[in-house]
Structure 1
Amino acid sequence: MQATSASKRTMAGLGDLVTSNGQGFLVAAVVAVAAQFLSDHYGAPAMLMALLLGIAFHFLSEEGACKPGIDFTARTVLRFGVALLGARISVELIVGLGPQLIFVVIAAVILTLLFGLAAARLLGRGWRFGLLTGGSVAICGASAAMAISAVLPKNEHSERNLIFTVLSVTVLSTVAMIAYPILTDTFAFNDEVSGVFLGGTIHDVAQVVGAGFSVSDEAGEVATLVKLIRVAMLAPVVLVISVLVRRNFASEMDGKRPPVLPVFVIGFLVFAAFNSFGLIPDAVVSFLSSLSRWALLISIAAVGMKTSLRRILDVGGQAIALIVAETVFIAGFVLLGVAVLGH
């Protein structure tokens, strides 16, 4: 009887969740499907299209039946998508690159984050903005921006800064996808060096794959592998930020002390561990990767709905200079690292 009663309560809770959030989620999903259609047929980055289309529907997030679902999608569906990113990671893939190049990639991530903090302070921007932009450039673009934003203490500029960062790294990543393969040809890099440079510098995974395989199959495989090392840094970076926020800024977190390890980071690590031990079949890995991508695409559409274009334009030229400087910094560091190693 108790089990039946508990089951009924669970079903009722799920029903309430669907009822209150279903309309907003469906709107974001439709926007995501439209964005993917534009990407498939016209070559535009799906993340960028989802963001821009979402901004056009900003009025839905201000009031009405869709508002709770849009908030839910921008928050919970986002974290679900980040957790599933772990299914792409395995220790075997990472070790195969070799310790020296792994060191260069990890150092590039850490130093870009520190550069973002220092440059943000120099330009008079807050530390939150420095972490957000630095982390998105250093790790995996829009996905990293959304994951880092989820554990930062919120203020009146949080959503504006997130939408600006996602928009900027997506545009810069698209530019890099076109320009960086030309650089690898100009510098006469071999396929391995080209892959390391492209995977170590371009922000979003999709653009890394596009740029890498436009050079050669070997460059594409190396670029994807290097990029996955950067993606693997997402969990420890978010963990460190979460611990520091919990210790020093708990009073800014709506009176609640955030968990040391957010649930979505635990999910990321669990999926990565399962994949590393070969417990997830290849077909399931492919399915989870696709599900993660769709969850992130839908959530970025919802994030776009929550922010007006006018607020994005309020960010200013210093913010643009900061994220461009971070992009140039990581590109220069990876080039230097590859040159020093003699690759």
Structure 2
Amino acid sequence: MVLSPTAAAPPIRTRLRTPLPGLAFCAVGAAAALGIAAPTGVSPLLVAIVLGATITNFVALPSFTASGIAVASRRLLRIGVALLGLQLLLSDVLGLGWGVLALAAAVVVGGIAGTMAVGRLLGMEWGERLLIACGFSICGAAAVAAVEGVTAARKQHVVTAVALVVVFGTAMIPGLPFAVSLLGLDTTRAGIWAGAAVHEVAQVVATGGAIDAGRLGTAGASALAVAVTVKLARVALLAPVVAWIGVVSRRRSTADSPAGRPPLVPLFLLGFVGFVALRATGLLPDRALDLARLAQTALLTTAMFALGTGVRISVLRGVGWRPFALAAVSTVWVSAIALGGVLLLDLEPATG
């Protein structure tokens, strides 16, 4: 049998869809961010986001890097977050108390309700304000993508919502630690506020790291570990919220089209919990924990650089002022709910 040329060798365009070029590009960007951050003491995660956003707005990235950038901003991010479980002692999680879980639920429910109400006053479409509400109240771009799967959202609205998550969430990375210092919050409360208020998982990691960087030498649970734990409590609410949105969307729509559903529990959340349990056994040597920490930093820095490349000014210019206004109000509203809950929580004083 004679194979056709197409069967024997895939077209060049198909071969270029491999994620390797994009992953290599993100790896180089992450290495540059680490090199810039090392002598300055600035978080490499924040440097990576700024570097990625700067490059994408001044240089036209080749199309064959797109698939690799997508892999870095999603899969590598989730692996890095799962590895964070090895840095978290179970006693730190249990010490947060049930009130933190109630706070996470209040942020998600109250954040979505408030953002939807303001968006309606601004005259925005239901689908557009829903994407922003869920992205800012639950878990950023992942929530936007999940909501898109159960609604008839416009592609432009999806792109806008993701870009706004990156812009406003990135602004919170230096802004929230500054507010923490002004308010005099201890490390635990600062971490809870970061995990309950910041939009993306990666942005929570950077914010928690920035808070810890300003408090070197203090004892007790790190703000980063606390922030990620609280953020993952919000992530766990993604499935029930999106399932409810799917029901509402079907009632609103006249089209009979199937809608996908997210997994009941995100896989990287299970990985995070599994690594927490593994750390609790005390079986891992310090060398293994150090290597895991290095891998975690490299993966998260690479993911941050990839997320930064999504901040394109050209995409944001034509959307009008209403989405920006709603994003600003939602950021303040979610942060206010989170801060109010943090101040009301009955926590043991942080040591150090």
Question: TM-score normalised to the size of structure 2?
Answer: 0.70
Counterpart secondary structure, 2:278:
coil
**Is contact 2:136–2:331 with CA below 8 Å preserved after alignment?**
yes
Spell out, residue by residue over 1:24-44, the C-alpha distance to the aligned partner (whole angstroms, 9 max, x if none).
443344344444444445646
Aligned partner of 2:329 among 325, 331, 339: 325
- Equivalent residue letter for 2:140: A
Q: Is the 8 A contact 1:81 1:293 kept in 2?
A: yes
Q: Which residue of 2 aligns with 1:173?
A: 173
Look up the match of 2:17: 20
Q: Structure 2 counterpart of 1:107, which letter?
A: A
Residue 112 (structure 2) aligns with:
113
- CA 1:217 to 1:103, structure 2 compared with 1: closer, same or farther past 3 Å? farther
1:176 partner letter: L
1:286 alignment partner in structure 2: 293
Name the aligned partner's letter for residue 313 of structure 2: L
1:26 maps to a residue whose letter is A
Go from structure 1 to structure 2 and tell me whether the alpha carbon gap of 1:100 and 1:168 turns closer, same or farther (over 3 Å shift): closer
With over 3 angstroms needed to count, the CA separation of the structure-2 counterparts of 1:20 and 1:317, relative to structure 1, is: closer
- Are the equivalent residues in 2 in contact too, given 1:108–1:334 (CA < 8 A)? yes
2:70 is the counterpart of 1:75: yes
Equivalent residues in 2 for 1:43-122, closer than 5 Å = 43=42, 45-57=47-59, 59-60=60-61, 66-70=62-66, 72-84=67-79, 85-89=81-85, 92=90, 93-122=92-121
In 2, Cα distance between equivalents of 1:148 and 1:290 = 24
Tell me by how many angstroms 1:162 deviates. 1.3
- Contact kept, 8 Å, 2:50 with 2:308, in 1: the verdict is no
In structure 1, distance between residues paired with 2:306 and 2:331: 24
1:129, CA displacement in angstroms?
Answer: 4.4
Q: 1:192 to 1:213 in 2, by over 3 A?
A: same
- Per the alignment, do residues 111 and 41 of structure 1 end up closer, same or farther by CA in structure 2, a change over 3 Å counting? farther
Q: How many residues in Structure 1 have an aligned counterpart in Structure 2?
A: 311
Q: Cα distance 1:148–1:181, how it changes in 2: closer, same or farther (>3 A)?
A: same
Alignment of 1:151 onto 2:146: yes
Answer with 234-243 or 155-164: which moved more.
234-243
Task: Calculate percent identity across the aligned residue pairs.
Answer: 17
1:276: which partner in 2? Answer: 276
Letter of the 1:261 counterpart: P
* Contact 2:33 2:48 (C-alpha < 8 Å) held by counterparts: yes
Aligned to 1:9: none
Distance 1:249 1:123, change over 3 A: same
- Cα distance change of structure 1 residues 56 and 232 upon mapping to structure 2, 3 Å threshold: same
**Does the alignment pair 1:231 with 2:227?**
no
Contact 1:135 1:148 in 2 (8 A): yes
Q: Give the C-alpha shift of residue 100 in structure 1.
A: 2.4
Unaligned runs of 5+ in 2: 1-8, 348-352
- Aligned partners of 2:118, 2:219: CA distance in 1, in Å? 32
Contact 2:78 2:268 in 1 (8 A): yes
Map 1:218-257; keep pairs closer than 5 Å.
Answer: 218=218, 221=221, 223-244=223-244, 257=259
CA change 1:192–1:121 in 2 (3 A) is same
Q: Distance in 2 between matches of 1:40 and 1:268?
A: 29
Offset at 1:238? 3.3
Gapped regions of structure 1 (runs ≥ 5):
1-11, 61-65
Whether the aligned pair in 2 keeps the contact of 1:24 and 1:73 (CA below 8 Å) is yes
Matched letter for residue 315 of structure 1 = V
Report the counterpart of residue 210 of structure 1 in structure 2.
210
- Does the residue aligned with 1:327 lie in a helix, a strand or coil? helix
Contact 2:77/2:299, CA 8 A, preserved across alignment = yes
- CA distance in 2 between counterparts of 1:67 and 1:229 reads 36
1:195-206 matched pairs, under 5 angstroms: 195-202=191-198, 204=203, 205-206=205-206
